[in-house]
Structure 1
Amino acid sequence: MSLVINKNFNNDKNVWNIELKGEIDIYTANELKKVLIEVVSINPQDIILNASELEYIDSTGLGVLIGVLKRLRQQGKDIHIIEAKKNVKKLFNITGLDKIFKVEG
C-alpha cells in the first residue's frame, strides 16, 4: 500500500494539519520525512497529524517522526497525533513514544 499525505496550515490556530492515509514503512518513510521537513522549514509550528486513515507505521516511520519532533522541540513546538487506530496507538504505547508525542483521541 502507498502513503497519501495532505497538508495545510491553519492560520487561525497557527498549526499544521497533516492527514496520513495508508502505510508508513521503509518504502514510504522518506516521502513523509520530505513533507514534514518541508513544513517545519517553511513555518516551524505545532503539527497535528490526523492518523484516522493510517493503517500501519513501522520503526522507520517512527524514526522520521522522532527526528522531526527534535527539530520542532528546538522551537518549543510539538507533534500531536490524533484519531489513531488501535494498532497504531498500541505501537506508540509499547514503544513508550506516547510519553513523547501528544497522542490524543
Structure 2
Amino acid sequence: MILQIQDQYDEQQKKWLVQLEGEIDVYTVNNLKDKINQLLDQHMADILMDCTTLKYIDSTGLGSLIGIRGRMIENNKVLVLTNVQPNVRKLLKITGLDKIFIVEE
C-alpha cells in the first residue's frame, strides 16, 4: 500500500495540518519521516495529524512517530493524533503509546 500525505500550514493557528492516507509500514515509513522533517524545517510548529484514512501502522511507523514527537518536544511543540481508527487506537493502547501521544477523537 502507498502512504499519501497531504499538508497545509495554518497561518492563524501557527500549526501544520497533516492528513495521512494508507499505511505506515517498513515500505512507507521513510516517506513519512522525510515529509514531516521537511515540514518542521520549513516551520517548526505544532502538528495536528488527521488519521481518519490511516488504515494501518506497524512498529516502524510507531517508531517514526516517537522520533518525530521527540524532535518536536525538544522545540516545545506538540504532535496531536486525531480521528485515530479503532485498529490503530488498539495498537497505541497495547504498546502504551496512548499515554505519551495526545490522541483526540
Say whether the fold is shared (TM-score over 0.5): yes
Would you say 1:41 and 2:47 are equivalent positions? no
**How do residues 12-91 of structure 1 correspond to structure 2 at under 5 angstroms?**
12-91=12-91
SS at match of 2:56: strand
Give the C-alpha shift of residue 41 in structure 1: 1.2
TM-score in terms of structure 2 length: 0.97
Q: What amino acid is the match of 1:51?
A: C
| Percent pairwise identity | 42
- Cα deviation digits, residues 41-87 of structure 1 (max 9, x gap): 11111111000000000010111111111110011111100001100
Q: Following the alignment from structure 2 to structure 1, what is the Cα–Cα distance between the partners of residues 9 and 70?
A: 20
Instruction: Count the aligned residue pairs.
Output: 105
Structure 1: gaps spanning 5 or more residues: none
Q: Following the alignment from structure 2 to structure 1, what is the Cα–Cα distance between the partners of residues 58 and 78?
A: 21
Q: What amino acid is the match of 1:8?
A: Q
Q: Following the alignment from structure 1 to structure 2, what is the Cα–Cα distance between the partners of residues 62 and 4?
A: 17
TM-score in terms of structure 1 length: 0.97
Structure 2: gaps spanning 5 or more residues: none
Q: Following the alignment from structure 2 to structure 1, what is the Cα–Cα distance between the partners of residues 19 and 9?
A: 12
Query: For the aligned residues, what is the CA RMSD?
Result: 0.7
Structure 1 ranges of 4+ moved more than 6 A: none
